[in-house]
Structure 1
């Protein structure tokens, strides 16, 4: 007879996890009730039942805190924030659901859930049960034994983790799980306000455990310690013992394990349905029915060993599983790994010249990992001057070096720091390191060694969230940093330069940034590993950071005179369109005013019977509305042309000359790695990626970008149909793969197949329609959308799409598989493992769900194309440096790279670029790159 299994759920740990996992997209029903916490917990419960089919199960709740701990330490958990209102409201609902399901609730006033679970787990062990403590809280590791395991929700879609004795030994570097108590006591816990031993962190605690075994062993041998650590440990011995007691889970509470009470039994289905209907949990209602009617077999039923369970995957399609969530919210209330900074407990010091500086530098160069942060006079790194640099390599500690205003003196000071910045053995940590690298480049300082950028790390962990330091600090460290506006004021003529801020305030502000960033790094490093994105981070995004910094510093030459003449031509074009529109309308009006335009088009001219209106009751003149009507009404096409030209003139033709750097005489765009969730780069100040290329006037803007001088020429290298090649390869669609391998015109090849004609007889219109479908399929084009983009009727468009899928059946299967994968896992990924999380993939709203389904298909394709060109950029940049070429990479625009080529190097460069781009990633389909040369970007393209 197999060993019986008991599952004990830590209610509040799972409730908080569910609530915070959905914090950016809360589940709110039609009554306005936030049901995130309830939904999250119920999904956790269902996940356990569905996977494990446990013999026995119970749920433990905290009630009124820990009376025993508060008696010996009144400040216990004093730092805790007020419980969110949504969670307070959720608990009664959750308990009613459990009662309806006949699942026992373990609760005792003045006793915490971990003590209840610890007590019952030990009792059940004596009665021959295997007990699984379902919680994300690492503190439970102290209870693990031969028959007691932690059943931990794993992060980032990686199923579950089972911690037995070997896992605890490895995680905490202990011989016995009981030593976790000593580890927690030594290190303390800021969230629970357990003080610990001052100055003892994770590494030191593990070192002490290895040397002395226990807290008592450490305190008995303090004579072996040295310096300040010896003083601190001896002075705080009682505090250490108190902390150990606070960290110890009580295993003799007044609660008794009764096997009959905890046996999983038949639920009161009608009562559960009634509660779910009130909460509007339609999908969970279906899940409940499937699970308890026996339709959903447990994924690990019959394999009760920890090793077998560790490999189990996420729950079935349609289920939002907290064991596969994208947010690390599990330890929001109780985990010792979550750090909290306090304003009073830190050591930030300003370093003065002389002996203090020498001592600081000596200490600095002995470190392995250092966070640094430059403070400057402005936001443009190519113009801004250094005001100071902050350093931190230990939480809540850091140093600040203020810089003199005199440039010669500043250069002399930075030279003292050169050994640090150029030390290969020291890993440099920062938030948006590209900015710091560009600032330091002005001082002829190259930042060498391994880099860790917290902004980039978080982008890979949670691409859809904001990545600025304040948000990250508040989200992951429960701390709101000092705002820069508190020091220098808000924008305007009265805003100060950071140099005008007193040095003591500079120190507090700057070192706080470095300290926070260092702590964020400690938080994100394991997250990257768990998301399986370490390689993407270290091999793609971090090397690319350096490439982009060089490209941005280089900039590109601009022909101002040409833009001036183009501006005059656009003025004439715009005036001609104005006249044409006024004549058609029969009066003059403000074409740029949506309100006036709507009245003219839909009231006076009555161009449509039932015009679309905005929420404010005005006629909608949005781009999509007018584009749909343009082919039937000449005035609307003229309005769209007018809008296009006025935007082109203001955004590019008149704006670009003002963005030329006065020192370099060039335009320096800023590439952003953390904006597009797909992995694509975006460009800003100026945005060179959105210059229109479908209109003649738009294309002419590219003519203004020219080589540095007559010794150079521009070269544009463009991946040919890379997204189609990727989807052909990923879908393993042989017909399409073969066409690419044979070098066929893919659009003509597709047209020949879908229209059933020889490729030599494909008409221009047929090829055009096939091209529209080829590219549209990736974005989920509908018959309605296709008919709008072509001359086909909606019926003809539907027939063409149906024929297309019959022609390429594996493509259709691949798209379905991607959507299924997204439903199951909550994300899709590129060829390099870049994840796109799709929180709405199981939305009850068909429109919202449809958008997520289209992203499930598109994101891996678009993201893989982005990954591939990033690899090419890194490799080309490396080869250009190694070969000491004068040629420079200047721009990246989607699938295109632009180079300033030194003419004597041209033939070598052409070969280098084509080879590196085409070999950047091996697909079943060959990558093909077109090269173009010219005296300006337009001619080269």
Structure 2
């Protein structure tokens, strides 16, 4: 059977790269191998499952095509290729060569055209089936009875096959050739093909159903009406051009023979070397068998038969050597599915037990007593800890051995005794959730707890820390999907906080299946911790993990469970005031525009600003061809016309209403009548805590209206107060300490106005002569330097100086504070040498782009190298302070509670009678949390609400 597969190399590479953009794969040399991995996985999957007789890969070249000559804007909207992807492409071609697959490319033609030419020729030459391997929808125009689209998944583990029926259904057309007409009418934003403005897919499908093609449609425009008629007639030439641009060339003069495209056995030696360099262990095993080991200093060879099994001679060698390499000489059969990519649960290899009676608890207790340690995982019916019901707990005391206890209140005494035992170590993954669930069910947890999620976040802060992903990446294991044991089809399709509050019907889940699912999660957690624990020590993260992050965890749980009270009446009154301001702004904006329009429509706004008011000669456009009306664009127009500033203000006030006035009351717990935000320890690379559902850290504080929102946050008890304790200029103080700059340290010791002091030095004038404007400029410089601000960035922020004047300010700053400049240069150099930077406590941030050849990418990494040690040390500082404050509050048996952490600020419910005690604790513990050469100071405010206290 003649079966041809034609791969769109560039499209597949891009797809693989961005599929893993949130959790990229890096080898030990720091190379991002995501694109190569995804491409290779797709290739192996395709060969093993589809058994092609012929195969080729087409690539674009950098040379312009006829499309570019016809339409210079063709694909001009695309961002530059990511540097990681440009590095990966030669490896992808080498992989193709290693598989002995021809690579087809020709200057002046795109891969689409090459694939189209070969696909149609193969159809004429009698091939049984032809598959175009690409995610690009444009290829639908080529689909016929024998030609299909093969659309791989993003990670290379399966595909969708589209034939004529699928194309006709998805495009709502009568024949596949009409795909070109659809693109001609609708355009294609990814290729910057314009189409006809105002014509969407539904309208285009109706027009083609009536007229068949663009040409026929243009012959009958007299039959159209209104705006549609006007748009099509006005843009007729654009529609015809768009159709030409979208048409795949089927006559590319490229040299090939079908014999050359016949599938060959791969070159074992070439692939083994590539897989070794790229560190593709999983793919190596998938390709060469489970005995594969990536090349090291010693090499061992074994002969493989075409079935992928070891030959009889090699079986003898296998007994002599535990690990073997793929043969450099023998052929490897990769065209079968005998090998598995990832391990899965094998019930014959594990001892998972469902506890069905009280006597079944005895083996679990004995195992825990022996190990004095267990990993556990709770099963609940919701991700929202406030409403979740405990359904069961899985326990694991060693690899592949565990128990599942379906929760019943009769087990409360047993569970309370077990979890309260301080001598037993408890291990979890996303432990804050599990501990919150237990606390909500009256099960208090004491003693040492370890969280494998937080451990991984310290070791690999830029990667994802999901249990399933870590199981695949670190254990080469695929966990049981929850959808495999539970019917989720009836659940409402929700997202965000609504999704987390969805209740799952656990009663319908088979108990044995649930036990396997839960124990497997606990088992994976146990195995992950055994891997990650030594890595914490190896990477210098032990102190951060054991002394900061883990002691902080129960404090965050207590803060989340305490919650904060919101006065809805106050919030509603603020909303009414904002609505009046919005109405006034709308009137002003419409008067400036000379007409009413939809203020929330960027398209309509763009037309007003750039066509009717003509505020800019050459306005910027977005990738979709609309005028840019973002905040940066409007800010640049603020000095040219009052409408721009009014629109910015309108948007800010509208956001306050939608994000806070309307949304916050919806987050009040019916059970407690308070808001319970969730704090996350692993969301930022600097170590800062983040807050979500709702986010109480991003309530605006710079505008009067934004600040007013804080007025609605009040104490939980009548007569109590809100207390706010805020570090003063903490990042500047840390910069002074880390750089050991004597001038800045002395200024803080002398309690000088640091910005006035800096201005006096920059302008070389007495401090008493510093003007308000000079102080403001110095303040911007002071806060910009820790973020690696450039002259361009400083000039843009100040808005009153040129780039050269901004450069002079920065130069003057470094002349006055040379040790700060030295510190910055040393940090960048250290990052180049080590690949990471650290906080004072040792928290690391890896900067893989620090030696990038791309200047803008490298500059961003350099800014992170400067800022992370400062911001990260500030994050460590307040976390340590929180730990000590909570300890002192508990030791003194005080009722006042810590409620929120908002960057450098802590918010408390204060019992008035405890004021002096609480102030004494804060003033000591916050100032002394970390010993610095530069003194730390805090500002404390007390009021009837958060606004008054801050």
TM-score (norm 2): 0.66
The aligned counterpart of 2:395 is 391
Q: 1:502 aligns with which of 510, 517, 540?
A: 510
Following TM superposition, by how much is the alpha carbon of 1:618 offset from its aligned partner in structure 2, in angstroms?
1.5
Residues 1:713 and 2:721 aligned together: yes
The aligned counterpart of 1:368 is 372
> Counterparts of 1:619 and 1:768 in 2: how far apart (Å)?
34
> Counterparts of 2:676 and 2:289 in 1: how far apart (Å)?
62
Matches within 5 A, 1:268-287: none
The aligned counterpart of 1:652 is 660
Residues 1:882 and 2:898 aligned together: no
3-state secondary structure, aligned to 2:371: coil
Q: 1:864 aligns with which of 863, 867, 873?
A: 873
The aligned counterpart of 2:482 is 484
Given that residues 18 and 36 in structure 1 are in contact (C-alpha distance below 8 angstroms), is that contact kept between their aligned partners in structure 2? no
The aligned counterpart of 1:175 is none
Residues 1:580 and 2:592 aligned together: no
Matches within 5 A, 1:523-672: 523-672=531-680
The aligned counterpart of 2:752 is 744
CA change 1:114–1:417 in 2 (3 A) is: closer
3-state secondary structure, aligned to 1:349: strand
The aligned counterpart of 1:704 is 712
The aligned counterpart of 1:847 is 856
3-state secondary structure, aligned to 1:918: coil
Residues 1:827 and 2:836 aligned together: yes
| Length, aligned pairs only | 667
> Counterparts of 1:722 and 1:17 in 2: how far apart (Å)?
37
3-state secondary structure, aligned to 2:89: coil
3-state secondary structure, aligned to 1:900: strand
> Counterparts of 2:784 and 2:324 in 1: how far apart (Å)?
59
Which consecutive unaligned segments of at least 5 residues does structure 1 have? 1-14, 40-80, 99-109, 118-132, 141-191, 195-239, 255-337, 404-409
Following TM superposition, by how much is the alpha carbon of 1:526 offset from its aligned partner in structure 2, in angstroms?
1.3
The aligned counterpart of 2:89 is 33
Given that residues 30 and 848 in structure 2 are in contact (C-alpha distance below 8 angstroms), is that contact kept between their aligned partners in structure 1? no
The aligned counterpart of 1:421 is 419
Residues 1:459 and 2:467 aligned together: no
Residues 1:23 and 2:26 aligned together: no
3-state secondary structure, aligned to 1:398: strand
3-state secondary structure, aligned to 1:666: coil
The aligned counterpart of 1:911 is 920
> Counterparts of 2:478 and 2:504 in 1: how far apart (Å)?
22
The aligned counterpart of 1:513 is 521
Given that residues 598 and 605 in structure 2 are in contact (C-alpha distance below 8 angstroms), is that contact kept between their aligned partners in structure 1? yes
> Counterparts of 2:291 and 2:479 in 1: how far apart (Å)?
33
The aligned counterpart of 1:189 is none
> Counterparts of 1:348 and 1:583 in 2: how far apart (Å)?
72
Which consecutive unaligned segments of at least 5 residues does structure 2 have? 1-24, 37-82, 96-155, 158-262, 277-287, 302-307, 330-340, 494-502
CA change 1:478–1:744 in 2 (3 A) is: same
Matches within 5 A, 1:155-174: none
The aligned counterpart of 1:343 is 346
CA change 1:725–1:20 in 2 (3 A) is: closer
Following TM superposition, by how much is the alpha carbon of 1:396 offset from its aligned partner in structure 2, in angstroms?
2.0
Given that residues 828 and 835 in structure 1 are in contact (C-alpha distance below 8 angstroms), is that contact kept between their aligned partners in structure 2? yes
* Deviation sequence 1:41-70 (CA, Å, 0-9, x none): xxxxxxxxxxxxxxxxxxxxxxxxxxxxxx
CA change 1:19–1:479 in 2 (3 A) is: farther
Following TM superposition, by how much is the alpha carbon of 1:656 offset from its aligned partner in structure 2, in angstroms?
0.9
Residues 1:722 and 2:778 aligned together: no
> Counterparts of 1:652 and 1:709 in 2: how far apart (Å)?
23
The aligned counterpart of 1:893 is 902
The aligned counterpart of 1:811 is 820
* Deviation sequence 1:870-889 (CA, Å, 0-9, x none): 00001101111111110110
> Counterparts of 1:90 and 1:590 in 2: how far apart (Å)?
63
Following TM superposition, by how much is the alpha carbon of 1:488 offset from its aligned partner in structure 2, in angstroms?
3.7
> Counterparts of 1:396 and 1:631 in 2: how far apart (Å)?
68
Given that residues 611 and 619 in structure 1 are in contact (C-alpha distance below 8 angstroms), is that contact kept between their aligned partners in structure 2? yes
Following TM superposition, by how much is the alpha carbon of 1:756 offset from its aligned partner in structure 2, in angstroms?
1.4
Q: 2:698 aligns with which of 690, 699, 709?
A: 690
* Deviation sequence 1:889-936 (CA, Å, 0-9, x none): 000000000111111110111011111000000111001111111000
Following TM superposition, by how much is the alpha carbon of 1:781 offset from its aligned partner in structure 2, in angstroms?
1.8
> Counterparts of 2:870 and 2:892 in 1: how far apart (Å)?
33
Q: 2:930 aligns with which of 893, 897, 921?
A: 921
Given that residues 756 and 778 in structure 2 are in contact (C-alpha distance below 8 angstroms), is that contact kept between their aligned partners in structure 1? yes
Following TM superposition, by how much is the alpha carbon of 1:783 offset from its aligned partner in structure 2, in angstroms?
2.3
3-state secondary structure, aligned to 1:675: coil
640-649 vs 794-803, greater mean Cα deviation: 794-803
Matches within 5 A, 1:29-108: 30=86, 33=89, 35=91, 92=270
